[in-house]
């Protein structure tokens, strides 16, 4: 996936459909996606439709010191997900007094901030090993670099869904 992604990350190997089918991960990812859609669709819609989910792509991100993902979104899919496998101890904190520590975090960007102070426009998440984040593929997001010699590893995947009348 390296040349198809915007990340300033050296290693982002593709997980092939064959690998994912043989290990059962296609079914796992699709079932997670089906649950995600079901939780977000109205009860009326669920009574009228079956939810079908298909896996579009999956890859591993092996992020090292100073690597990052600029603001981006995914195309040709409806749902995106990131599952964190290894989170390093960020052993070189910047320690800037009065500044929010964003190193190694993922930030979702929904809109510009309005003057009412009722909407932030963004949501910052500090990842933990085992955490799974799912979001609409058109949601802008960015991953901040970190300092330290360890690797941060995650699996990312994209899904499509449709509602089929019962």
What is the mean predicted confidence (pLDDT) over 120-129? 91
pLDDT at residue 90, as a whole number: 63
Average pLDDT, the chain: 90
Q: Where are the alpha helices (DSSP H) in 12-156?
A: 17-23, 25-40, 43-48
Say how far residue 129 (Cα) sits from the centre of its chain: 14
* CB contact at 8 A, 82 and 132: yes
Q: Which pair of tokens denotes residue 25?
A: 């991960």
Q: Cα–Cα distance between 78 and 4 in angstroms, integer? A: 18
The CATH code of the domain that includes 141 is: 2.60.120.620
For 9-62, write each residue's pLDDT tens digit.
Answer: 998 999 999 999 999 999 999 999 999 999 988 776 778 888 999 999 999 999
Residue 161's domain comprises: 2-165
Task: Please check the confidence at residue 3 and state whether its pLDDT lies above 80.
Answer: no
Count of domains for the chain? 1
CA distance readout (Å), 81 to 15, 104, 117: 14, 17, 29
pLDDT at 115 over 70: no
- The whole-angstrom separation of Cα 54 and Cα 77 is 10
51-101 residue pLDDT tens: 999 999 999 999 999 999 999 999 999 999 999 999 987 656 677 888 888
The contacts of residue 25 (CB under 8 Å, 6+ apart) are 15, 19, 58
């Amino acid at each position: 996936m390296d040349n198809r992604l915007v990340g300033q990350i050296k290693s982002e190997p593709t997980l092939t459909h064959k690998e994912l089918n043989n290990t059962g991960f296609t079914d796992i990812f699709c079932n997670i996606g089906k649950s995600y859609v079901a939780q977000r669709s109205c009860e009326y819609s669920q009574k009228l439709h079956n939810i079908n989910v298909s896996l579009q792509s999956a890859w591993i991100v092996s992020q090292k010191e100073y690597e990052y993902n600029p603001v981006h979104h995914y195309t040709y899919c409806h749902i995106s997900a990131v599952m964190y496998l290894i989170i390093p101890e960020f052993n070189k904190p910047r320690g800037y007094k009065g500044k929010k520590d964003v190193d190694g975090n993922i930030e979702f960007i929904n809109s510009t901030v309005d003057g009412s102070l009722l909407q932030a426009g963004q949501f910052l998440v500090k990842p933990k090993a085992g955490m799974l984040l799912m979001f609409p593929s058109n949601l802008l997001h960015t991953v901040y670099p970190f300092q330290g010699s360890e690797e941060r590893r995650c699996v990312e995947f994209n899904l499509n869904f449709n509602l089929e009348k019962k």
